[in-house]
Amino acid sequence: MVYDVVIVGAGFSAIASVCNLIELLPASFSVAVVGDDPGFGRGTAYRTELYLHRLNVPAGRMSLFADRPDAFVDWLAEHKRPVGAGDFASRQDYGLYVRDSLAGLLRRKPRCRVDFIKAKATGCLGRYNAALGFLFDNGNEIAGRNIVLCLGVGSAKLPIDLSGLPALGASHVVDNPWRLSWLGRVASEDSVCILGSGLTMIDQVLALHAHGFKGHIDVISRRGLAPLSHARAPKPPAELDVATLPTRLSELMGTLRRESRCADDWRSIMDSLRPQTQTLWQRLPLSERSRFLRHALPWWNIHRHRVAPDVFERFEEITRSGQIALHAGYLLNVEAGDRLTLCYRARGRRDVLSIQTDWIVNCTGMERAGMAHSPLLRAMQHQGLIEADPLGLGIIVDPRSRIPKTSENGVSIYAVGALTAGQFWEITAVPDLRVQARKVAEAIAKRRWAKSGQDDG
Ligand SMILES: Cc1cc2nc3c(=O)[nH]c(=O)nc-3n(C[C@H](O)[C@H](O)[C@H](O)COP(=O)(O)OP(=O)(O)OC[C@H]3O[C@@H](n4cnc5c(N)ncnc54)[C@H](O)[C@@H]3O)c2cc1C
């Protein structure tokens, strides 16, 4: 079957794209959403099994639609959740809200055809009849006249190869902590070593606690920096215009540091950058973007991707109790005996230190969107349909999120989400994804109107 639109991916970006297409396309259009994820629309972020896992963006900024900012807050009120616009709702609830929003739109447009296909797209069949075909892991295939790639980022691999560990040791390495079933295998007095100290680590520490875990937790990452907190009473964003900021990284960081020192709260500087980050990124030459990724990324992440204040306080409490030790260093190797031994070089030191533990948990977070995790992207690259971003930030798209030159044969390929980080950088959170999904849906709708020349809605 040839669909008007094929969306590959089943996370938030895919569902935001389909919701906008339902609103904008004529009534008789057809869309296929192809995803290998059991929870359509939830992705890793919103299919958590733990209610205590919170959003890290206030509810008032999490509506699916930028032009209806209260939609999520209204949903929360309708469902009797005591969460206001400035509060941090449960990620589980957010997944339900996304699902309900899609169902509501589908009810209102009964003539459109939206097929949800559970499969992994593994290959591309090239262009035929002004459409692009995709091959699935189950042997089936479909084609679309417009394609939207919403593949997210794969989860990060372990920082070192542990394939040589004996079976018993390997069974105590948790490669994908998002499958929370691993928690059931941990005894309450065991010890756990978490690799990575970002938001995923905090989620897992809270999950361990919710399971009554009493043992010791070591956390190791290259810089040993953990996310900072949102303010309980946020100050308004400062008035900083990115057009006036330097484009050399060292000068830019110097300016931001000075501004932060002078501000009542450094967060107001970060918050002023928030709606302008894409512009700031686009102003930086490639060499400075590359410098940013090498030198400033860990600092950017902890200041920019902050946690809800009570999540932060809970984490601080556990840290103060001595249950968690945070180490900065480079993991060198892991040996398995009765327990697992991790050897690492402490940051800024020459000597090698070691940690004994029962469990290793990979919380190095999401991989930067690259080609490595996706057979589909590698196949499309091989066929000359897409090109890798030079800094490894996904694929090359133009400022309209379209893959250049793809409409030459009548097929347009767009991407939504982290795959477009090379062009936009700040494109992983809902406030940005919903705007991008809308623009892509508008571009597809415009093409469709131009072709049909009539309203069949
Ligand atoms: C733990 C966590 C918490 C977060 N909290 C927030 C928050 O509070 N607020 C916020 O704004 N953002 C948050 N984010 C950011 C979050 O990534 C985005 O909000 C959003 O969920 C990204 O959605 P996505 O669809 O782009 O990617 P994903 O959610 O990664 O979805 C991509 C989907 O595509 C599927 N897929 C990939 N390749 C194929 C293929 N070849 N064939 C078929 N299917 C494929 C994947 O299986 C996956 O289901 C959080 C992220 C994480 C990981």
> Does any ligand 1 atom lie closer than 6 A to the CB of residue 355?
no
Alpha helices in 167-323 (DSSP H): 167-170, 199-210, 249-262, 267-273, 277-283, 286-291, 297-304, 309-320
Residues 222 and 340 in one domain: yes
Residues 447 and 344 in one domain: no
| Sequence-ordered list of residues with C-beta below 8 angstroms from that of 450, at least 6 positions apart, any chain | none
40: left (phi over 0), alpha (psi -120 to 50) or beta: beta
Ligand 1 center–CA 394 separation, angstroms: 14
Q: Give yes or no for residue 410 having a pLDDT over 50.
A: yes
Average pLDDT over residues 439-445: 96
Q: Do 125 and 135 contact (CB within 8 A), yes or no?
A: yes
> Does any ligand 1 atom lie closer than 6 A to the CB of residue 150?
yes
Q: At 244, is the pLDDT very low, low, confident or very high (cuts 50, 70, 90)? A: very high
Q: Do 441 and 24 contact (CB within 8 A), yes or no?
A: yes
Q: By percentage, how much of the chain surpasses pLDDT 70?
A: 95
Residues 311 and 295 in one domain: no
* C-alpha distances in Å from residue 453, one per residue of 30, 184, 229, 446: 17, 58, 52, 10
> Does any ligand 1 atom lie closer than 6 A to the CB of residue 367?
no
62 occurs within a structural domain: yes
Residue 331 CA, distance from chain mean position: 25
Decide which of 280, 304, 328 is a domain's last residue: 304
161 occurs within a structural domain: no
Eight-state DSSP code of residue 189: T
What are the respective helix, strand and coil percentages of the chain, to the nearest 5? 40, 20, 40
If residue 212 lies in a helix (H) or strand (E), which one and from where to where?
none
Residue 373: predicted pLDDT? 78
Buried/exposed 244-272: b ≥16 CB within 10 Å, e otherwise: ebeeebeebbeebeebbeebeebbbbbbb
Residues 276 and 409 in one domain: no
Distance CA 203, CA 182 (A): 14
Ligand 1 center–CA 275 separation, angstroms: 21
Residue 457: predicted pLDDT? 34
What residue owns the CA closest to ligand 1's atom 38? 151
Q: What is the pLDDT of residues 63-95, one digit of tens each?
A: 999 999 999 999 999 999 999 999 999 999 999
Q: What is the pLDDT of residues 29-63, one digit of tens each?
A: 899 999 988 777 788 889 887 888 899 999 999 99
What CATH number corresponds to the domain at position 222? 3.50.50.60
Residues 349 and 215 in one domain: yes
Eight-state DSSP code of residue 157: P
407 occurs within a structural domain: yes
Helix (H, G, I), strand (E, B), or coil: what is residue 455? coil
Residues 218 and 353 in one domain: yes
> Does any ligand 1 atom lie closer than 6 A to the CB of residue 10?
yes
Residues 102 and 150 in one domain: yes
Instruction: Report the DSSP pairing between strands 113-118 and 2-8.
Output: unpaired
Q: Number of helices (H) and strands (E), helices first, in the chain? A: 15, 14
Residues 353 and 395 in one domain: no
Distance CA 74, CA 413 (A): 34
What residue owns the CA closest to ligand 1's atom 17? 428
Average pLDDT over residues 372-386: 90
Domain enclosing residue 295, as ranges:
242-304
235 occurs within a structural domain: no
- Taking the alpha carbons of 179, 184, 189, 190 in that order, is the dihedral positive or negative? negative
Average pLDDT over residues 354-375: 84
Ligand 1 center–CA 174 separation, angstroms: 20
Full-model pTM? 0.92
Residues 320 and 203 in one domain: yes
Location of structure tokens 């797209």 = 121
261 occurs within a structural domain: yes
Ligand 1 center–CA 433 separation, angstroms: 10
Ligand 1 center–CA 117 separation, angstroms: 18
Q: Do 360 and 193 contact (CB within 8 A), yes or no?
A: yes
Higher-confidence residue: 247 or 160? Answer: 247
> Does any ligand 1 atom lie closer than 6 A to the CB of residue 198?
no
Which is nearest to 401 in space by CA: 388, 387, 414, 418?
414
Residues 60 and 121 in one domain: yes
Decide which of 295, 329, 362 is a domain's last residue: 362
234 occurs within a structural domain: no
| Mean per-residue pLDDT of the chain | 91
Ligand 1 center–CA 265 separation, angstroms: 31
What residue owns the CA closest to ligand 1's atom 10? 429
> Does any ligand 1 atom lie closer than 6 A to the CB of residue 13?
yes
Distance CA 348, CA 55 (A): 35
> Does any ligand 1 atom lie closer than 6 A to the CB of residue 43?
yes
Ligand 1 center–CA 128 separation, angstroms: 30
- Give the tokens for residue 88: 């941090």
Ligand 1 center–CA 366 separation, angstroms: 9
Maximum mean pLDDT: which of 108-112, 387-391, 451-455: 387-391
Q: What is the pLDDT of residues 316-357, one digit of tens each?
A: 999 999 999 999 999 999 998 889 999 999 998 888 999 999
162 occurs within a structural domain: no
> Does any ligand 1 atom lie closer than 6 A to the CB of residue 44?
yes
Q: Do 148 and 35 contact (CB within 8 A), yes or no?
A: no
> Does any ligand 1 atom lie closer than 6 A to the CB of residue 374?
yes
22 occurs within a structural domain: yes
Identify which of 87, 203, 312, 430 to mutate to test ligand 1's pocket (most ligand atoms within 8 A of the CB): 430
Identify which of 65, 72, 180, 428 to mutate to test ligand 1's pocket (most ligand atoms within 8 A of the CB): 428
Ligand 1 center–CA 105 separation, angstroms: 21
Q: Which atom of ligand 1 is nearest to the CA of 15?
A: 25
Residue-by-residue DSSP string for 304-322? HSPBPHHHHHHHHHHHHTT
Q: Give yes or no for residue 358 having a pLDDT over 70.
A: yes
Average pLDDT over residues 272-291: 95
Distance CA 266, CA 257 (A): 9
Distance CA 377, CA 309 (A): 38
Higher-confidence residue: 22 or 126? Answer: 22
Number of domains in the chain: 3
Q: Which atom of ligand 1 is nearest to the CA of 48?
A: 1
Residues 311 and 291 in one domain: no
Q: Rg (Cα) of the chain, in Å, rounded?
A: 23
Eight-state DSSP code of residue 363: -
Ligand 1 center–CA 3 separation, angstroms: 24
Residue 127: predicted pLDDT? 65
> Does any ligand 1 atom lie closer than 6 A to the CB of residue 35?
yes
Decide which of 362, 385, 404 is a domain's last residue: 362
Residues 214 and 330 in one domain: yes
Ranges 67-81, 208-222, 405-419: which has the least confidence = 405-419
